[in-house]
Structure 1
Amino acid sequence: MRKLPFSLKNQIVSNFGLKNYTAADSLRNALYDLYRNESLPDGIDEFFNYDFFKIDSLNIWGYEWFEELPSDRFSSSFTKIVYYVYSTDDEGNDKDQLYRLHVLMYHGNSDKFDYVLTKRLETATNEISGTLWCYTYKDKIDLEKLKMDVMKVINGELNPCLSEKE
């Protein structure tokens, strides 16, 4: 039973990579059921890797947190999904984290969206972030659309929309 969640996670990544989104979603639901039943072992009990892909010499990893969107939008900061973008070494392994793309809870009231994509970059002394208002999502995030948006941002095909989209 302890290996099942890790097997489900690996199957989710595989199906997502093959664009079998229906199968991946079914497996995600099974993983969420284990989470709700408090049946997940350490290492996968708070979040899980659901996506991996490459663009040129970059490795991109998508992680999803189990916690649900809080009803009080002003209670805390909340990230549902993070895509980590890494440079690679000569063998294709992760080298340096270049930046992260967070699907962050919107701290306001909007019928149009619940989350907004932000880009975060850590420097030696601080963290720089910017909100990409063109990329917004409802509570049930369309992961296929999100992946396409992430690919656009990584490829530099973005319009940052620097003001709120209402």
Structure 2
Amino acid sequence: MLEQCQQQLDFTTKRIRHPKERIEQQQNQLDQLKHRLRQSMQRKVSEQRSQAVNLAHRLERNSPTRRIDQDRQKLKDIDARLARALSNTLTNKQTAFARIVDKLNLVSPLNTLARGYAIASKDKQVIRSVNNVEKGDAIKIRVQDGEIACEVVESKASS
């Protein structure tokens, strides 16, 4: 029985560890847990930073200020294109107007008078033929710088 108790005591003694050993083991476990916790926290902080950076980039891309600046630039570009188009249109219209004025000057009665021709009229009607007047009719002859009042002395048709 003594021997049996001795064995049981040995067995129990082996099972019982020295408190220092238990403290060291628990200290090791605590160190491992601290290390895992630190890694987990660092990973979480890194993820949060990355997410914050991504959100900041998204916010910057969709920023109202940025969009307003882009729209202002587009408006400036459109304004410049409109100014060029208006300038080109005005130039084209001025050129076309000048051509029309030149054409009008070619057929203008005033231009014809400036070249030495005259326009004869009777009772405010242009005389187009010798048959439109008779001897003694009062007519007016329009020249470049005024009118001449005349009386028909003779009219003769060309042969």
Q: Normalization by structure 1: what TM-score?
A: 0.19
Q: Normalization by structure 2: what TM-score?
A: 0.19
Structure having the larger proportion of residues in helix:
2
Structure having the larger proportion of residues in strand:
1
